[in-house]
Amino acid sequence: MAALAMAAVQEASGTQAAISPPKPLPRQDGMLGQSPYPGEALRLHQEGTTTLTLHVNANGRVTRCLVATSSGSPSLDRASCAFAHGVRFDPARDGAGVTVEGDTSFPMHWRLPRD
């Protein structure tokens, strides 16, 4: 399995007045985790970046994943959403600091192993 190089950039665009957008929470080891490289994309030597728009509920769980920009590989796009559903978030907060639903942009960078 290949490690997934991933960065997360957030932009609030929730339906409620979110002041701070959802932010991914790292695991105890400080990483967001790894996603196995999809077999089809590996066989076809596909790389790319999938940018997702995630809807995160007030409990920090992803409830909707939309591909905002495709990597050009359907298998990488599907794997990106599957991975994102397992990431936990610090939810968006309104002006009073109360957790609310919100949307965030979440890029997934897929690079083939170089070994």
Going from N- to C-terminal start, the domains of the chain cover 5-110
Say whether pLDDT at 42 is over 80: yes
Q: Which long-range contacts (CB under 8 A, 24 or more apart) does 27-35 make?
A: 32/6, 32/8, 32/87, 33/83, 33/86, 33/87, 34/1, 34/3, 34/4, 35/4, 35/6, 35/79, 35/80, 35/82, 35/83, 35/108
Task: Work out the percent of the chain whose per-residue pLDDT is above 70.
Answer: 77
pTM for the model: 0.76
Confidence of residue 7 (pLDDT cuts 50, 70, 90): very low
**Structure confidence at residue 24 (pLDDT):** 87
Q: Which CATH superfamily is domain 5-110 in?
A: TonB (3.30.2420.10)
- Is 57's pLDDT higher than 90? yes
pLDDT at 44 over 70: yes
Mean pLDDT of 76-99: 94
